[in-house]
Amino acid sequence: MKLARGPRGPRRRPARAGVPVLVTGLALAAVLTACGSDGSDPSADPTPTSSSSGAGSSAPTSESPSVDPATGLELTHGALTVHVPEGWTRGNSVGTLQVSADAPQRRGYLAIGKIPAVDPDESVMSQGKFAATHGGGWKKGSVTIEPIVSLGGEPAYHISGIEEGLGPADQVGLVHDGVAYTLNFDRDFGDGTQEEWAQIIASVLASASWSG
């Protein structure tokens, strides 16, 4: 069974539908077991960066580029609130699973997903490695585990790679108060440079806050 990444709205190429890919190890293992798989055929081969560490261990938070927080449209999903850059517009929502925003001219988008976490105590690095290895939709061998980042003052994993049929993408995720959150940044068909999207991601993360 191949799990899809987060639910998608209409795109210029066929989109996939499913649940947010940040399912903690136990949750995804349960799904794989139910489908008769032992999880030995991962959909991606993650390549850790030099700052990444093994599952269950901690890693330093990366130093984010010096950017101002995004001040555009506000997106709130569960306890998480972020802003996207000016000019972005609200995208499709998928019930209680996902909210999203589209870049100008639909050159990319951000989708925020959330699901209950089965193992709230799983380490951030373990979450990232599992998402990189078992998250559906990644082109095999394209996934890199990036340094840990900060999301609303909490450590979050960051993985990047190529989505089959879409293009470059980044995912940031963590578990907050028993809920698994993912931010999927998709740069459709490679529009924009890597540096431009790094700035966009950093500005969104810098805008993040938690309620409660």
Per residue in 49-101, pLDDT tens?
Answer: 433 333 333 444 444 557 899 999 999 999 999 999 999 999 988 878 899 99
SS3 assignment, position 202? helix
Higher pLDDT, 133 or 2: 133
Q: What is the pLDDT of residue 3?
A: 30
Q: What is the pLDDT of residue 102?
A: 94
The answer to whether the CB of 175 falls within 8 A of the CB of 122 is yes
The residue extents of the domains of the chain are 25-32+72-210
SS3 assignment, position 124? helix
Q: Is the pLDDT of residue 9 over 70?
A: no
> What is the C-alpha separation between 156 and 209, in angstroms, rounded?
13
pTM above 0.85, yes or no: no
Q: Is the pLDDT of residue 27 over 90?
A: no
Say how many residues make up the chain. 212
> What is the C-alpha separation between 81 and 211, in angstroms, rounded?
8
Its CATH architecture, for the domain 25-32+72-210, is: 3-Layer(aba) Sandwich (3.40)
Q: Is the pLDDT of residue 47 over 80?
A: no
Distance of alpha carbon 186 from the chain centroid: 9
Tokens of 160: 């990047």
Q: What is the pLDDT of residue 122?
A: 92
- Picking from 111, 94, 98, 115, the residue whose alpha carbon sits closest to that of residue 28 is 115
181 phi, psi to nearest 5 deg:
-110, 140
